[in-house]
Structure 1
């Protein structure tokens, strides 16, 4: 069901483009939450993949418009059709937060009609310098959420990001209520998977983490993945006490509601971290060939809560699609399960 704009007396409309990946789109939602609070008179039309609509359902005065890149919006003719759909909103500006071929094509169609276009600066040269093997420039880069906000600033809107998470527990799905019946135990979400295998903490070591947390009396909820990941999570859930697999059992809206009721999330550098940020849950994150300096730390999360090893070869990848270059043992293998468990206990008891 389409979310219609509620306030028709507003004066400006912005179309926001960000089609993928899941974590990047979740970060956009975190920024738009703050933008809406500071610019309540502006109407937003968010264009992204249908699966990501739940990220934006709690943002007022926002309409979600799906892009279907594999069917009706495929190719240049499909993108022109999408443009024809979007032009009916009569936008004042386009905020291109993606800067890929599709978003550039749509922006070009609008530019030909005189619509103002502003595009994200991804800082590609800086990121290349951060990840190269020789003459690496190791320093924190501008955070991705600030790069998103910069686009709105260039459109002459005021936005100041708080970089804080705000927990606001949502109503639990009916079929999840029994999992939260014991209010005396701490509840930890675990998002152990990622799109790229090089960002995944080794499963045998993650299993040790789960075993130790289970023995410590925490309740564990495993999120995120497809059929193969579901099988792994089911095995862990059957083996360890108070461990539950949520993969394949809840949709994204329900998962967000469940995450909002947790005490903590353990995640890779992946969408699980960004989903937790969106609903105000602190995250202990594990980093391998990627690094929070590249700007993709979850919104409002703390660098002190990132678990990683120091090595001159790190980082060697922005997106985690390249293997570690740390030598015989990769950087993920060098992180001990006990280090992760101790960090979680410290965070929960702090």
Structure 2
């Protein structure tokens, strides 16, 4: 019999998207899902599959503490922070919490050794939700609630953004990539957020065939990703979306690294990873560049990104 589950995941775009396989599976098992997110990410949460009710954390905090015991059967905490743990302890319900491997992550960042490779975050979400999941595997085909993309199909999408410098390529690196990708029938699109519009403007001025989509909503951006021929991205929410939506993907890594648990999931044949040659990779979980060290993204070989793109384009045209 299905249960009424309260699920906590406050942010951010990539992390919320990576809950999709677990949410969809929980829903298919007959459970009723209420998802709590922070207000700044409600737009992304509205796209997730299997969610019956959305609550904004800032608006619902007091009400949840007072009434959760009668409204829900259990809590799944997919945030796993001090804030979320403190909150769920006040609800008087059974709680299953997503655990973060702090020690293993620290050892990986210090030693750079693959011996400390961290389990994919989607699988760790699934472990937290396992008491309510039937035996089986997580869904690979996801039903994200995306709008129709009526205009740009089969594009080569360059995701030029990133939350921190260690996840972003420089203007010069993007210029080298774009100038060396053969012009074909595929539109070329620049995707990012409001903070990337200056870079997009500089690139579009130099390459007038580029389409600047940095002003698009997240939902429209995800529709572009779904309908793209190839996505080229750093460690971003759009990168995770490409993997989840089975879009061919070239991902590049500077201050972060796939071994930190945020590699493209699921692993598919049409995926290639290009990792910086810097001795400082990985430097941080979130892509922050330490102030006293060089940006590892400076040691990313653009030639490897170009080779990966060219190989993917050949694979798409080979019968």
- TM-score w.r.t. length of structure 2: 0.85
The match for 2:249 among 277, 283, 289 is 283
Of 91-100 and 252-261, more deviation after overlay is shown by 252-261
Q: Give unpaired runs (5+ residues) of structure 1.
A: 1-9, 74-78, 181-185
Please say if 1:127 is aligned against 2:95: no
Cα distance in 1 between the residues matched to 2:43 and 2:69: 20
Q: Distance in 2 between matches of 1:266 and 1:224?
A: 12
Contact 2:159/2:238, CA 8 A, preserved across alignment: yes
> How many Å separate the matches in 2 of 1:61 and 1:337?
40
Q: CA deviation at 1:31?
A: 2.9
Q: Is the 8 A contact 1:224 1:247 kept in 2?
A: yes
Instruction: Output aligned runs, 1:132-151, within 5 Å.
Output: 132-133=110-111, 136=113, 138-151=115-128
1:262 corresponds to 2:228: yes
- Residue 347, structure 1, aligned to residue 312, structure 2: yes
Secondary structure of residue in 2 paired with 1:190: strand
From the superposition, tell whether residues 298 and 66 of structure 1 become closer, same or farther in structure 2 (CA, over 3 Å). farther
Alignment partner, residue 83 of structure 1? 65
Counterpart residue number, 2:203? 236
Please state whether the residue corresponding to 2:33 is helix, strand or coil: strand
**Which residue, 173, 178, 181 being the options, matches 1:210?**
178
Aligned-partner Cα distance in 2 for 1:336–1:151: 38
Distance 2:127 2:253 in 1: 26
Q: Could you list the per-position Cα deviations for residues 270-300 of structure 1 after superposition, in whole angstroms to 9, with x for gaps in the alignment?
A: 1121222343323211101211011111221
Aligned mates of 1:264, 1:199 — CA distance in 2: 19
**Structure 2: how far apart are the matches of 1:67 and 1:167?**
25
The answer on whether the counterparts of 2:159 and 2:190 sit within 8 Å (CA) in structure 1 is yes
Q: 1:60 to 1:81 in 2, by over 3 A?
A: closer
Equivalents in 1 of 2:296, 2:44: separation in Å?
34
Partner of residue 117, structure 1: 95
Q: What is the alpha-carbon root mean square deviation over aligned residues?
A: 3.0
Partner of residue 92 from structure 1, selected from 70, 73, 86: 73
Contact 1:141 1:293 in 2 (8 A): yes
Asked if residue 332 in structure 1 is aligned to residue 297 in structure 2, the reply is: yes
Partner Cα separation in structure 1 for residue 171 and residue 218 of structure 2: 24
Distance in structure 2 (CA, Å) of the matches to 1:98 and 1:194? 21
Q: How many Å separate the matches in 2 of 1:66 and 1:96?
A: 15
Distance (whole Å) between structure 1 residues aligned to residue 23 and residue 209 of structure 2: 36
Question: How many residues are treated as equivalent by the alignment?
Answer: 313
What is the SS of the residue equivalent to 2:243? helix
276 and 91 in structure 1: CA distance in 2 versus 1, 3 angstrom threshold: same
Q: Deviations over 1:133-153 (max 9, x none)?
A: 5x8564421111111000011
Residue 190 in structure 1 maps to residue 158 in structure 2: yes
